[in-house]
Amino acid sequence: MTKAMLTKIAAVATLLWSMPASACPYDFADDYLADPNGVADSTPAWNQAMADEVPCLTILGTFRFYSPPDDILHAPAIVGLSLTSSQLVRSYDGGSFIRVRGLSGGRIAHIAIVADTGTTGGLGLSLEAGPLGQASAWTFEGLSIQGWGSPFGTFSWPLHIWGDGGPLPGWRDGTIRNVTIFGHESGAMYCRSCNSVKITGLATHGTSPKVWFSNPTHITIAASDIQGPIQVNAGYVLMSLLGSWSYY
């Protein structure tokens, strides 16, 4: 990492949550030479950005990944401008795609997370909390997680969002806001040991649009269009459209 990059990191480290995406000085294409036209493999550029622990990263373009990218082990703000202009595309089979396993307090917003046509298996977006509740207080906002192909995608994500809190205290104080999910085989979202997770504006569409929780505590769902059951452990709670539901 160059001295100039270190200077950038120091300058914006305390401004992550107050500045708009356009103010982030780290651009995936310009600073890390990822291909915004979706031809070359963007995995090496992503891995370098994660190794540099950039505090923020602007996604503008369509970026293809032909091999699994490194996990997010710190707490950056990874922010796009719109679902059509900011796309991360998995072009390989299986495995977790965008996976958070690091510090608490990061954000991923205004990005389409896509499984390329003809790919199968894997998880679109996953968060794995550590034994002390690391990777908590993350915000996922304004995302579209989908497969390309048929009207509901290629059905290539068995599961779109996976939140694994592991043993308690689990994934704490998370926020999922205005996230749309298309084309899943097993379910839209699964969360284990989730504690005080707030879900607003979640829309699920596909062959198996259910959302389910294992060992949850204080889960709040509001203003959502979940076209399937909400499963809590072995039981089901059906939620009406644009309704509100809480579990304590």
Instruction: Tally DSSP H helices, then E strands, for the chain.
Output: 3, 21
Residue 168: per-residue pLDDT: 63
pLDDT at 242: 39
Is residue 114 assigned to a domain? yes
Residue 50 lies in a domain: yes
Q: Could you tell me the residue range of the domain that residue 56 belongs to? A: 27-200
Look at residue 32 in the predicted model and tell me its pLDDT.
98
182 domain-assigned? yes
Residue 207 counted as domain residue: no
Residue 185: per-residue pLDDT: 64
Cα torsion angle, 128, 33, 90, 151, sign: positive
In a domain, 168, yes or no: yes
Residues 6+ apart with CB under 8 A from 200: 175, 176, 177, 178, 221, 222, 223, 224
Q: Read out DSSP for 148-172?
A: SSBTTB---EEEEEEEE--STT-EE
| Per-residue pLDDT in tens (0 to 9) along the chain, 248 residues | 454 544 444 444 444 444 555 679 999 999 999 999 999 999 999 999 999 999 999 999 999 999 999 999 999 999 999 999 999 999 998 888 999 987 899 999 999 999 888 888 888 999 988 766 677 899 999 999 987 754 444 445 666 788 877 666 667 889 999 998 876 667 788 888 788 888 899 888 766 667 888 777 778 888 788 777 777 764 444 443 334 555 44
In a domain, residue 226? The reply is no
Residue 159 has what pLDDT? Answer: 67
- pLDDT of 197 reads 86
Domain-located, residue 145: yes
**pTM for this entry:** 0.84
pLDDT of residue 16: 47
Q: Residue 50: left (phi > 0), alpha (psi -120 to 50), or beta?
A: alpha
- What pLDDT, on a 0 to 100 scale, did the predictor assign at position 2? 52
Query: Tokens in use for 134?
Result: 């690391």
Tally the domains of the chain. Answer: 1
- Spatial contact of 33 and 54, defined as CB atoms under 8 Å apart: no
Q: Is residue 236 part of a domain?
A: no
